[in-house]
Chains A and B, each alone.
Chain A
Amino acid sequence: MFETARFESRQRLTGSTVVALGLSAFAAMMVLIAPGLLDEFDVEALTETFPPALVEAMQLDVIGTIEGFIALELYWFGWLLLLAIYVAYSAASAIAGDVDDGTMDTLLAAPVSRWQVLGEKFLSLLTPILVVNVVVLVVVYAGTQFVDEPIAAADLVAVHALSIPYLLLWGAFGMLASVLAPRRVVAEGVAAGAVVATFLVETVADGTDLDWLGVVSPTRYYDPVTILTASEYDYTGAATLLVAAAVLLLASAVLFARRDVR
């Protein structure tokens, strides 16, 4: 049990480290330039130059504080979009990629069930999710202390911890794409494309007549800006994401168990 999860996790370690270092460097830069920028920032003037709808969509009204600035510059883009794409993309190649290059045959020739293979490959996605979250959490905490603009530690931990259900959901979606798509590139494209599409839908539809569209967007259930600026943690949203992830994963497992591996 868990041999595949262990093997795959180790395989993902290098990529996870690279992503963690990249996002850390970006985070460090944002933290370092934040105090200088915030001094010069006139939020009132800024929000007046843009149309109100855009201000609301981009949540520009909160950018004047270190919490709001980091939430928007780092977590909003970095987590809701970039890290989600990475996880969905990795998941998408997990099954479809192995089927494409024949690795799946070698694996399925062993006395393992398809459920086990899929489940353990999904578990291995915890490697990038945990490595990146822990490393960047430390960097942001230390950085904000260093520039003397501390962010409440509880809020920082929450913004990272509550991102895990969000990222797991994209992992499960990537798995579903991986099982359904005829080829690896199709699965990867669908998974990454879906992240971008739902991110845009939620950003654009928020507060408009199309608001209901955002209900199906995972970004609605994890809001780093509210966590950091208002210390409001959406546990219901996190639970919703976990349930959705479980449903998608279950569907992937059922489909994978039935499909032909060619």
Chain B
Amino acid sequence: MNVIETTGLTKYYGEVRGVEDLSLSVGKGEVFGFLGPNGAGKTTTIRTLMGFQSPTEGTATVLGADITDAAALRDARGRIGYLPSEPGFDENVTGRRLLEYHGSLRGDVRSEELLELFDPPLDRKVGQYSRGNKQMLAIVMAFMHDPDLVVMDEPTSGLDPLKQDQFLEFIRAEQERGKTFFFSSHILSEVRKVCDRIGIIRNGHLVELENVESLLDRTGKVVRANVGGAVTAEEFAIEGAHDVTVSGESAEGAAPVTTESDGGGEDSTTVSFTYTGPYQPLLRHLLNYDLLELAIEEAPLEDIFMRFYGDHDAEAVVERVENGRTDGHDGHEETDSRNAEAADV
């Protein structure tokens, strides 16, 4: 029996679509990545699965309990851990008191062990906690009763990078102990580290379900190279390269622009493109040039969506690719805050 099974799950907030016709299943012991930009319907799905809200249409079972059967779902929650991105706590009590309270509600078999890995200042009031400390407290609460299934909504937000890695490693270890995870995220790189299988949700619809490796193969890398001398986009029309841009100009644009580099006054050109293919031919090709700088990064989730499902308008592609390059992760954050409100519904 699948741990999570949804059939045509639909949730509308009045006229506003939260998620539509979502059908997926998560098997026992699986780490399922539920991927999508903010506002796509991830939180809606999770809140519906947890029973915080009832579906408009469709059905779902969690650990065998029908989500519309309040009593069955209540019992099932005794075996579910829930980890939201911004956990809400009573702020005028200490972390210790809160752990005691929630431990008494769901059972506490391993908080001591967990507190060695995730160590919020327990004797301080939760109101004084940093975001990271709150998140660590939430992690301890989500796992303290040793649940069979853990439902996580962007669980690493608020954790510093070191704790993020520690947490992802912890998930891998828990998976080996037979736990099932439903892991929502908008960051592909963290999902690929732990997830066996991922589903992508966009505008409330599930649009892609496949294993991580094949997704990564199809997504490709973002390559940016700074080379000496003048280069044309045509020279980089090698197999697996897409959307080649030269010095900020699109491939279809006018003659490539060369710029004076600060160093020896030598001319250099920046070439960037998305690359889906093995490394060797790419590197061999690059070595034909006077390679000054090279960056190979994972494509942002927004670009993946664009490549698979959407706009092939050249200008938009160029703009998106450029932003993805120059702003790097910051571009992500902007998208986040823009969509944050929509994600809360």
Q: CB within 8 Å of B: which residues of A?
A: 3-4, 7, 11, 98, 101-114, 257-258, 260-262
Contacts and interface: CB of A to CB of B under 8 A. Distances in A.
B51 A102 contact: no
B345 interface: yes
Contacts of B141: 106
B87 interface: yes
B256 interface: no
A105 B77 contact: no
Interface string B127-152: 00000000000100100000000000
4 closest cross-chain pairs (CB), A and B: A102-B88, A260-B53, A109-B82, A111-B78
B71 interface: yes
A111 B101 contact: no
Contacts, number: 73
Interface string B91-104: 01100000001101
Nearest to A114: B70
Given A104-B88, A106-B87, A260 B70 contact: no
Contacts of B78: 110-111
A101 B54 CA distance: 20
Nearest to A14: B92
5 contacts: A102-B87, A102-B88, A106-B88, A108-B51, A262-B52
B88 A111 contact: no
Contacts of B53: 260-262
Contacts of B92: 11
A111 B322 CA distance: 48
B17 to A, nearest CB: 15
A258 B52 CA distance: 10
Contacts of A11: 90, 92-93
B5 to A, nearest CB: 20
Given A260-B53, A261-B52, A262-B345, A111 B75 contact: yes
Interface of B: 13, 47, 50-54, 70-71, 74-78, 80-82, 84, 86-90, 92-93, 101-102, 104-106, 138, 141, 345
Given A4-B105, A111-B74, A262-B53, A105 B345 contact: no
A103 B102 CA distance: 12
Contacts of B74: 111-113
Contacts of A105: 47, 50, 52, 82, 84, 87-88
A109 B50 contact: yes
B56 to A, nearest CB: 10
A103 B134 CA distance: 12
Interface centre among A104, A105, A113 (most CB of B within 10 A): A105
A110 B106 contact: yes
B105 A111 contact: yes
Contacts of A106: 82, 84, 87-89, 102, 138, 141
Given A3-B105, A111-B74, A112-B74, A103 B52 contact: no
Given A106-B141, A260-B54, 9 more contacts: A7-B101, A105-B50, A105-B84, A106-B82, A106-B89, A106-B102, A108-B51, A111-B77, A258-B54
B28 to A, nearest CB: 20
Contact of B50 (A3, A7, A108): A108
Given A102-B87, A111-B74, A111-B75, A3 B104 contact: yes
A3 B97 CA distance: 12
Contacts of A103: 88-90
Given A3-B105, A103-B90, A106-B141, A113 B52 contact: no
Nearest to A113: B74
A105 B138 CA distance: 12
B84 A102 contact: yes
B136 to A, nearest CB: 14
A105 B74 CA distance: 13
A18 to B, nearest CB: 14
Contacts of B50: 105, 108-109
B87 A113 contact: no
Nearest to B345: A262
A260 B77 contact: no
Nearest to B50: A109
Contacts of B93: 11
A110 B99 CA distance: 12
A3 B70 CA distance: 20
B81 to A, nearest CB: 8
Contacts of A110: 77-78, 102, 105-106
Contacts of A98: 88
A7 B105 CA distance: 11
